[in-house]
Every structure is written in structure tokens, then in C-alpha cells.
Structure 1
Amino acid sequence: MSGSAGAIRLAMAQLLAWRSVSSRPLRALLLCGGFGVGVGVMIVLLAVGEAMVRQASQERLVGGGTITVLPEGIDIEVLTTGGLGGLFFSVPNARFVHRQVLSAPRLGDVVSVAAPQLEGKLLYVTTSDGIEHPVRASGEIPSATRALGALPLVAAGAWEDDDGDRRWMTPTPAELRHDIDHFHVPTPGMANRNSWGEWHYFNVISPDANRWAFISFIVGGDVTGDEWGGQVLVTLHERGRAPRRFSRTIAKERVRFSTRDANLTIGNDSVRVLPDGRYAVRADVLEEGSGTPLTLDLVLSPAPRVDFPGATLVSGDFTSGYAVPALRADASGSLCVSRVCEQFDGAQAYHDHNWGGWRGVTWEWGSARAGEYTLLYGRVTPEDSAGGTAPLFVYVTDAQGFLALFRPRVIRYDDARDVRTAKGVLRVPATAELLDVRGTDTLRLLLTVDDAVATDTRIGLVERGDSDAARALRRPWFVQMAGEARLEGRVRGRVLSGRGRGFFETYR
């Protein structure tokens, strides 16, 4: 009986199914089609997953090597499944990461080859008839990819490094200076283009650390228009004495700069990158007020690998760029005031490059040597910022190049020093402290100020490249300080300890 009942139930089910299909054939067809699509999608996903697992186990299929470097914040799970989070990313400052981290002597015992690669970048190609076509393109350095054992087979011809590949991987010292230190023009759509300023800045310290010079070669104004020009400004400082300012302003017709190289000519004064990567700096300017002549002829020799690659920050109408081609350098040559000359031979020196719109902008900045270490800290605050809430950076190097980056939230000043100005006494920092902990790495940077000068930005044409328009700042006094830096901490289990001279800037 049970077998007969089962057969009856099966026959009834088949009859009901047939009646359902025959009475509503379109609905039945739609349901069957949807079920088929679902099964097909599942099969495809399973196949893709299997292919991804196989690819992940084969080095040649993921670009060679044993480690893949991706930008911070990339979701690996989304990336592997092809989601939007994995599209169109790139590593910021990839050349710096390659040169100063992956290929640096510090990792020479664990990294044998580092190869930069671009995969599936979206590009647009415009044909001769004006039609724009989206394309996907990949790129790599043939010699580096070959060293990884991941170079694809070339069916015909040869695929070798060209000069651009060589310059990206192993630039000469002069090429590296030009790449880091070239000039710029205002970004399209930038408001207040007349506030644009760009300059080469140098400083050099006497062997006894009692005298120092700040040297600025400035291009100011909208360099894409007619209202701009150049200025050479040299400020001489001596501990405990008022600074002396020497300057010359030159019309745009006698100013030469380039967005392809670092060379700058302002009248008869110039900054030149020599073939070996050193800087030749020459100027002949007059003291403001007295007309006393100053002539300088210096050659700066940057320490190998001790540089800061530079970056441009763009936020709305605000643009600010900064690079340090010579974070640690030695200077040789002469600086003469009214034919009384001081000779420099391997003196402590520094060079940076700044560009952007400076209306309403303030900053914290400092650079110093601390024994075998050289460090740089800073933060730029645009006029529309809610305050100094963005973290600073502290960039630490040694003889092998980049060592560590810290991000202190604040710099703690003790305004216990008095500076006399034309408007009375101004309280400025006597000491400062920066602290940070990043995992097992720690930093404590102590600054002790032994000389300070305050300049009223409301009069315009202050040091470090401000344009001739006064800046309406909440903190209008630009404070330049000299003193000692003491570095303490630990990086990768290594103790940091050192002290030395440096310069620091803030606003009050």
C-alpha cells in the first residue's frame, strides 16, 4: 500500500506541475530562466574564486616577487573580488618609496629587487580626428621586472629600459635635484593668483654657530600673467644682535625659471645645479637703508639620500608645495659685506623649495641636525582652517636616508622669551617639545631657543617669500628662531640620541 501511495503522490505532483506550466507558460518560462541565470552566476563566481586562489599561489601571475606593496587603506578583500575599492589606485610618492625604502641600503639584506608596476590604469587616447577613447594600460620597468623573473615573453623585437626608466630608477645627482627642485605655476582655477610665491631657500651657519645667513631667491605674483617679479633676499644674523637685511627686486623680464629644472636667474644673481648635483649660489645685493653691498658665492653639497621628496597640497583655493633637496648639506665659499669676507669650508647648510598661494597661511617648521641624525618637522595651516588641529610630521633621517616618520598632535611651546619689536615686547618661545608614539617606535624632540627675531607680516615682503601684499593674520608676527635640538627615542629597537643646531619658525 505504501508503494502505491507514493506512486500516486508522484503522479499527482507531476500532474499539478504540468497544469501549472500549461496554464501560465510565460511565468513558468521566466522562473526557469531566472533559475538558470542564478546557477550560471554561481558557476562563474566559483570559477573566478578558484582562479584567484591559483593566481595567489603563483608569483609570476601577481607581478613577481614575494611581497606586493599597496597604498595604505586599500581593502584587500574588495581588491581581490574586483570591487570599486580596488580600482584606479596608485602608491603616492612611489619613486620615493622605491628609492628611500625598498631599494635603500637599510633593507639591502632582505630586499634583493624592487620593481614598480602599474596595472590596468585608465587612460584616454585622442586620435587625429579628435575622438577620445578610454583605454586600459599597464607599465613597468623592464629590467626590474626581468630581475623578478616576471617579464612576459616578447614575441618580437626587444623590450628594454629607455632613458625615462633609467632616470626614474637611478637618476644622476643632478637629475634628482631637477626632478625635486623644479619650479611650478599656479593651479588652474586658483583664486588670489597674485598671492602665488615660489622660492629657493638656503641657510648656512658659521663654524662657531654664532652667525648664520638666510638666503632666499623668490619669484612672486601670478607668473602666468603680467604682474610678477623676482627678489633676492639675504638676512644676516648674529647671536644677540639685530639682523641685517640685504635685498634686490627685479622685474619679470630679467627673471628666468623653468618647470623642468631647478635653475633660477634673477637679474645677475642665480642658483645653478652643477653636473655633479651640487648647488652654485651667487648674489650681489644691497643692505636695506644703508646701501652696503653684500656679495656671496657659495657651493652647497647635499648629503646623499638625505632629502625630502616634496608634495603639493591642494584644498579648494589653497595650494601649498614643499620639497627639501638638501636636508643635510655642507657649504663652501665666501660671503662678503663691504669687502669684509667670511670664508666657509664644509659649513652646516640646508636648502628647501616652497611654492603656493600664501595669503592667510601660517606654518610651524623646523630643521636641525642631531648628531648622526637630521630631522625636519612642520605643518601648514591655511587661513580658512579651524585652527592648528592637523598633526605635524617629524621626518627623521640618518646616513642611509629615510629612517622614520612621526605624527605628533601638537608642539608644546613655552613662550618665556622676550623679543623687542617696533610695536613693543613680544613673547616668543624659549623651548618647545614634540612627542609621539607609533607602535614600538617613540620620539621626543626638545628645542631650546637661544636667538629669535619677529617680523610683522602686515608690512609685506617678509622673509620666506611672502608677496608684497600685507597678510591679515590672526597671529601676524612671523618668528624665526635658532637654537639646539635634542632627539630622543627608539626606532625598530634602535635607540635614537643626538643633539645639534637648527632653525625653527612659528607665528605669534
Structure 2
Amino acid sequence: MQRERLGTSWLLAWRTVTSRPWRALLLCGGFGVGVGVMVVLLAVGEAMVRQASQERLVGGGQVTVLPEGIDIEVLTTGGLGGLFFSVPNARFVHRQVLSSPRLADAVTVAAPQLEGKLLYLTTPDGVEHPVRATGEVPSATRTLGAMPEIAQGAWDDDAGDRRWTAPTLAELRHDVDHFHRPNDGLANADSWGEWHYFNVLSPDASRWAFITFLVGGDVRGDRWGGQLLVTLHERGKAPRRFVTNVTRDRVRFSRRDADVRIGEGSVTVLPDGRYAVQSVAREASSGATLAVDLVVSPAPRVEFPGATLASGDFASGYAVPALRATATGRICVASRCDEYVDAQAYHDHNWGGWRGVTWEWGATRAGEYTLLYGRVTPEDTAGGTSPLFVYVTDARGFLALFRPKVIRYDDARVVQTADGPLAVPATATLFDVRGADTLRVQLRVDDAVATDTRQGLAERGEGDYARGLARPWFVQMAGEARISGRIRGKALDGRGRGFFETYR
């Protein structure tokens, strides 16, 4: 009887399917969708439970900022603590992006947090213990609504928290602009060079000065020293070069602050964040003495935070504390002085091993915008080169970053060198598209000078090795830049003066 009932049920089911196939298919499809939805809901619920109990998951806020390439699934698998990652240039992201005036209407607070960071604690008896540490800025976490209940004691900001989130202008300069030391694994450490660089442009754009305070050589040993170098340029004329070389006992620099003294010259960060720049040097050809006495005032928020590039035993660092600045003071040669009042100025800081290194570089104003572009190429680069970067700012700080693959030069200009005529750029163009944003930068050069690095110039840290360079001519250019394109839906249009560098 049981078998007969089962056979009848199968027969009825089969005839129902064959007599109404589309209806049966619809019912089966609906049943399948229902089961699928239940599976998804159960999986989501399980993931939520796991996240809620995941001790490494950072809580609070509406947006979590992670390094590029980190999958959100990492947050639920425990991999977050295993990777030990951090957000590169986190302080810049916090200050110039998340806490910038540009996002003031959308961001109430940005709270930097480290969760489950692996550290090693060494006790007085030399025993090492792995520990898991958490770090945060208490006031920001409290405003975010993610502060845990404090069972005992206090958890408030200290001086380090305040300096990280809201430094004074002088503290910011020292943090970005301090000096360094060669990496332990750096090959050819005698090629190490680090310098403060300033330029200043006259109001009629007919004269400009490049001012360098350089520490060169392996500063970990005895074979290093300092150099003051000032080159004065006047459109259509040969540059004048003033140099003072000093031994290491007359050099003062620090890895904690930006102040430097080389002989009678110095760079000093004033309490209000401006730079006092003083230099004394002598022209080799005439013996004339030059004296520089300037105060350089960086524009607020218009800076490049600094980055270090490393490839094998190569290292190169670069920061721009004053991408847009003004200079007031004087530059005197003998008894003749040029006075500057709020003149266009710029300041950057370079460090690294410079043996065989070449670069593309430019810094320019373009109306309300200020641009920085560049690329560093080590001597051992094989095949293609990396894209350039173009860093765009306005009065509210960082605006956009572009990565054009090439800078297209038209070498229609000719300069005279000791080896004869040399073709150098007359114009250049950079172009890039990043999502909905576009940028075109057009450069027109109206003055250029080529320096032979095979002479072993101290400011490059090259020495005799420079004589084997494939592109030995260091070309410094002045001219006009014009930008066009669109960023965040706003059309770009601006032009202004700037300085550019390349090699030939």
C-alpha cells in the first residue's frame, strides 16, 4: 500500500509538471530564489556576528580610510592585524584631505587610529616580549563616539597628539623639513647629499636667484662638508655663481629641526613659521662677495608633505614646505643691492644618494593654482620609467594628483656650452585624465642654462663618477606655465611663472 501511494504521488507530480510546464518552472524558480535569499541573509548575519566580535576591527565613524589595495574582507578574516599596514602619509591625509577646509561641510571629525599593532617590549633584563598595541588621539576618538568607557584614570591628548593633529607653523616646518642620515644599506654613501633650496623671482620676472644650503658626503663618518651656493640669473645673460665651501666642523644640522648653519650662512625657522635665510658667498671669477638676507613666508596649507623613494640600495627624499611663498629682504653683490618685497618665492628640501640620478622637475604658479611635477630616475633603472606626478593645490590646500606617463619636450631652443651648441626645451606639455578630472600643463621656456655635471659639482654629490653619465647636462629653465582642464567639475584656467629642470 505504501509503495502504491508513493508511486501515485510521483505520477501526479510528473503529470502536473508536464501538463503545466511554465507554471512549474516559475514555481521552482521562485522557490530557488527564496532559498538563495535565505542563504545570503544567513551569510550576512554570520559576517556581522564575526565583525562584532572581531577585536581588530576599528569602530566608530561613518567612513573607514584604508591603504589602497586592502580588501574589505580582510577586516573579517583577522588579516588586518597580520598585515601590520598603515596609511602612507597619514598626517597629510588627515590635515590636507579629511580635515581640510574643502571638506568642512561634510566631515565633522577625522580620528586616526591604530588597532592591534604588533610591538616588541624589552624588559630591563633583556627579555623581549611581543605585545599588541592600540593608538589613537583621545579627543578625536571621543568626538567620533568610539571612545570606550574609562574604568580608571584619564585618557586625554598629550603634547604628541596635539603636535600630530594641530602643530604650530614652526613645528610643522621642523617636522617636514628636518635633516636625515644615509640608510645603513645605501651603496656609494659618499654620494649622499641633502640640501635646503630656495628661489626668488623679481617682480618684473627679469631676475631670479637660486639659493642652496648643502650638506654633502657620508655624514656618519669624517669625509663630508657643507656648501653655500647662490646663482644669480638675469634673462638673456650668463648666470653668476657664488660659492662657499666649508669643513664639517663649521656645519650644523639636525634630524629634529629644520635649522642649518653652514659657515656664515644659515636657515632658521622663526616662531611664526617663516624662514630667515642668510648667506655669504664669493664669486670665483671676479672675487665679488654676495650677501643674502631674506625672510621667506610660506602660503598656508600650500605644501607637499614629503616622500622617500627607495629601490634596492637607492634612496631619494623630497619635501616642499613652501610650494607657494613670498620673500622680503635683499640680495647684495658688492655695494649693489636688489630689494624684494613680497616677491614670488619657493622652498624645497632634498636628500638621498645622487650617484647617476636624473630627474624631471618643475614648480610653477598658474593664477590661483600652484603646481609641482616631477620624477626621479636612478642610475640602475632598466626599461621604462615610472610616470610623473603632478600635484595641484589652491588656496585651500591639496586639490588633485595626476600621473601623466610622459612629459613631451620640443627641443627647439639652443644654448652654448663648452662642448658646443646643445638643444634644450623651448616648450613642454603634460596631460593626464583621472576619472572625470583632466589636466593639461603647457610650459613655454624663455631662459635656459645647461651645467656640465661631469665637472663633479658638489651640489650633486657626484664626484668623478659624473664623467660617465649618459645625460650629463643639467638644464635649468625659467618660463611661463598655462593650465587647463577640469577638477571636481570646475574648469581650470590659469597661467604664471615657474622654474623647470631636466637633463640632456
Q: TM-score, normalised by structure 2?
A: 0.89
Q: How does 1:453-464 map to 2 (within 5 A)?
A: 453-461=449-457, 464=459
Alignment of 1:285 with 2:281, yes or no, is: yes
Aligned to 2:265: 269
How far apart are the structure 1 equivalents of 2:463 and 2:381?
Answer: 23
Give, in angstroms, the shift of residue 468 of structure 1: 3.8
For 2:255, give the aligned amino acid.
T
* CA deviations over 1:244-287 (Å, ceiling 9, x no partner): 00000000001000000000000111000000000000011100
* CA deviations over 1:449-480 (Å, ceiling 9, x no partner): 00000011100116x54344441211110000
Give, in angstroms, the shift of residue 84 of structure 1: 6.9
* CA deviations over 1:84-134 (Å, ceiling 9, x no partner): 796311100000000000000000000011000001111111111111111
The DSSP-based 3-state class of the residue aligned with 2:109 is: coil
For 1:176, give the aligned amino acid.
L
Aligned to 2:129: 133
For 1:87, give the aligned amino acid.
L
Residues 340/71 of structure 1: CA separation in 2 closer, same or farther (3 Å cut): same
| Contact in 2 for aligned 1:459/1:470 (Cα 8 Å) | no
| Contact in 1 for aligned 2:217/2:461 (Cα 8 Å) | no
Give, in angstroms, the shift of residue 63 of structure 1: 2.3
How far apart are the structure 2 equivalents of 1:86 and 1:456?
Answer: 50
For 2:100, give the aligned amino acid.
A
- Worse overlay, 312-321 or 372-381: 312-321
Aligned to 1:51: 49
Aligned to 1:328: 324
Give, in angstroms, the shift of residue 190 of structure 1: 1.2
Aligned to 1:8: none
The structure 2 residue matched to 1:448, chosen from 435, 438, 444, is 444
For 2:336, give the aligned amino acid.
V
Give, in angstroms, the shift of residue 149 of structure 1: 1.1
The structure 1 residue matched to 2:142, chosen from 139, 143, 146, is 146
For 2:146, give the aligned amino acid.
A
Q: Over aligned residue pairs, what C-alpha RMSD do you find? A: 1.8
Alignment of 1:244 with 2:240, yes or no, is: yes
Alignment of 1:493 with 2:489, yes or no, is: yes
* CA deviations over 1:218-250 (Å, ceiling 9, x no partner): 000000000000000000000000000000000
How far apart are the structure 1 equivalents of 2:163 and 2:145?
Answer: 22
Residues 53/117 of structure 1: CA separation in 2 closer, same or farther (3 Å cut): closer
For 1:494, give the aligned amino acid.
K
The DSSP-based 3-state class of the residue aligned with 2:233 is: strand
For 1:92, give the aligned amino acid.
P
For 1:343, give the aligned amino acid.
E
For 2:191, give the aligned amino acid.
S
Give, in angstroms, the shift of residue 76 of structure 1: 1.1
The structure 2 residue matched to 1:117, chosen from 113, 117, 124, is 113
Residues 173/469 of structure 1: CA separation in 2 closer, same or farther (3 Å cut): farther
The structure 1 residue matched to 2:461, chosen from 461, 466, 470, is 466
Aligned to 2:401: 405
* CA deviations over 1:51-73 (Å, ceiling 9, x no partner): 136579xxxx7421111111110
How far apart are the structure 1 equivalents of 2:362 and 2:462?
Answer: 22
Aligned to 2:192: 196
How far apart are the structure 1 equivalents of 2:294 and 2:465?
Answer: 32
Q: How does 1:157-306 map to 2 (within 5 A)?
A: 157-306=153-302
Residues 50/453 of structure 1: CA separation in 2 closer, same or farther (3 Å cut): closer
The DSSP-based 3-state class of the residue aligned with 1:349 is: strand
Give, in angstroms, the shift of residue 411 of structure 1: 0.3
The DSSP-based 3-state class of the residue aligned with 1:177 is: helix
| Contact in 2 for aligned 1:199/1:465 (Cα 8 Å) | no
How far apart are the structure 2 equivalents of 1:427 and 1:284?
Answer: 34
The DSSP-based 3-state class of the residue aligned with 2:146 is: coil
* CA deviations over 1:325-363 (Å, ceiling 9, x no partner): 000000000000111000000000000000000001000
| Contact in 1 for aligned 2:122/2:128 (Cα 8 Å) | yes
The DSSP-based 3-state class of the residue aligned with 2:73 is: helix
How far apart are the structure 2 equivalents of 1:164 and 1:53?
Answer: 31
For 1:379, give the aligned amino acid.
R
The DSSP-based 3-state class of the residue aligned with 1:76 is: coil
How far apart are the structure 1 equivalents of 2:221 and 2:268?
Answer: 25
Give, in angstroms, the shift of residue 488 of structure 1: 0.7
| Contact in 1 for aligned 2:190/2:461 (Cα 8 Å) | no
How far apart are the structure 2 equivalents of 1:278 and 1:366?
Answer: 23
Alignment of 1:424 with 2:424, yes or no, is: no
The DSSP-based 3-state class of the residue aligned with 2:85 is: coil
How far apart are the structure 1 equivalents of 2:335 and 2:88?
Answer: 49
How far apart are the structure 2 equivalents of 1:264 and 1:418?
Answer: 38
How far apart are the structure 1 equivalents of 2:44 and 2:123?
Answer: 40
| Contact in 2 for aligned 1:264/1:271 (Cα 8 Å) | yes
| Contact in 2 for aligned 1:284/1:293 (Cα 8 Å) | yes
| Contact in 2 for aligned 1:381/1:388 (Cα 8 Å) | no
* CA deviations over 1:398-444 (Å, ceiling 9, x no partner): 00000000000000000000000011000000000000000000000
Give, in angstroms, the shift of residue 50 of structure 1: 4.2
| Contact in 2 for aligned 1:118/1:138 (Cα 8 Å) | yes
For 1:224, give the aligned amino acid.
R
Alignment of 1:81 with 2:84, yes or no, is: no
The DSSP-based 3-state class of the residue aligned with 1:503 is: strand
Aligned to 2:334: 338
How far apart are the structure 2 equivalents of 1:465 and 1:264?
Answer: 18
Q: TM-score, normalised by structure 1?
A: 0.88
| Contact in 2 for aligned 1:220/1:467 (Cα 8 Å) | no
Aligned to 1:19: none
For 1:288, give the aligned amino acid.
A
Aligned to 2:350: 354
Residues 54/129 of structure 1: CA separation in 2 closer, same or farther (3 Å cut): closer
List, as ranges, runs of 4+ consecutive aligned residues in structure 1 with deviation greater than 4 Å.
45-48, 53-56
How far apart are the structure 1 equivalents of 2:164 and 2:269?
Answer: 19
Unaligned regions of 5+ residues in structure 2, if any? 4-42
